[in-house]
Structure 1
Amino acid sequence: MNRRNSRGRPGESEVITRVRTPNKKDREVLGTVISMLGASRVVVRCMDGVTRMCRIRGKMKKRVWVREGDVVIVVPWEIQDEKGDVTWRYTGPQVSWLERKGYLKSP
């Protein structure tokens, strides 16, 4: 049996991408990295309208490289809302999926 992908070509199966979405219970917010400050700190413009100075978690420091323009998940601090922690970075195909599904508002 020939399987067809979304474009109708036989033999090529469609690639399924699993994308982690922000969890509202854990206060996670999507954001875009504006600038790098050094010492594992970045400035992120979040989807809730707040620009936060965030630190990159120790677990992510050497494994995942964060650059300007990357879409990330930020967990705001409970004490200071203008600061937070970066917990996840999205890849290019994941960002396009988020835009298609309406999680990201295109500028």
Structure 2
Amino acid sequence: MPKRWNKEQFASADTLLGANHIRVRCIDGVTRMGRIKGKIKKRSWIREGDTLIVVPWSFQDEKCDILYRYLPPQVEWLRKNHYI
């Protein structure tokens, strides 16, 4: 779950831009350019339509870091329990 005190939020992957960058649509309605952190880059592939946890940058609101990718069963559970 996103930590609200750390400004984390849900997002959906829209477009793969290459070079570890993805255009994401955040839950607050803003489209940002997301950067895949090295920890995530080595562990999982992110595809268009995936549900993610992102943290917007404090000094550039149009960019963010991608922290986590949810698997399809996890997304189904989140929708069933009205988190997204």
Smaller-chain TM-score range?
over 0.9
Partner of 2:54: 74
Runs of 4+ with deviation above 4 angstroms: none
Note the C-alpha offset of 1:102: 1.1
Relative to the length of structure 1, the TM-score reads: 0.77
SS of aligned partner of 2:38: coil
Relative to the length of structure 2, the TM-score reads: 0.97
Note the C-alpha offset of 1:103: 1.5
Structure 1 gaps of 5+ residues are 1-20
Partner of 1:43: 23
Q: Which has the higher helix share?
A: 2
Give the fraction of aligned pairs with identical amino acids, expressed as a percent: 52
Of 33, 38, 41 in structure 2, the residue corresponding to residue 61 of structure 1 is 41
Note the C-alpha offset of 1:100: 1.0
Partner of 1:85: 65
Aligned residues: 84
Note the C-alpha offset of 1:62: 1.8
Taking the aligned partners of 2:67 and 2:57, their CA distance within structure 1 comes to 12
Of 58, 71, 79 in structure 2, the residue corresponding to residue 99 of structure 1 is 79
SS of aligned partner of 2:76: helix
Which gives a bigger RCO, structure 1 or 2 (Cα 8 Å, sep 6+)? Answer: 2
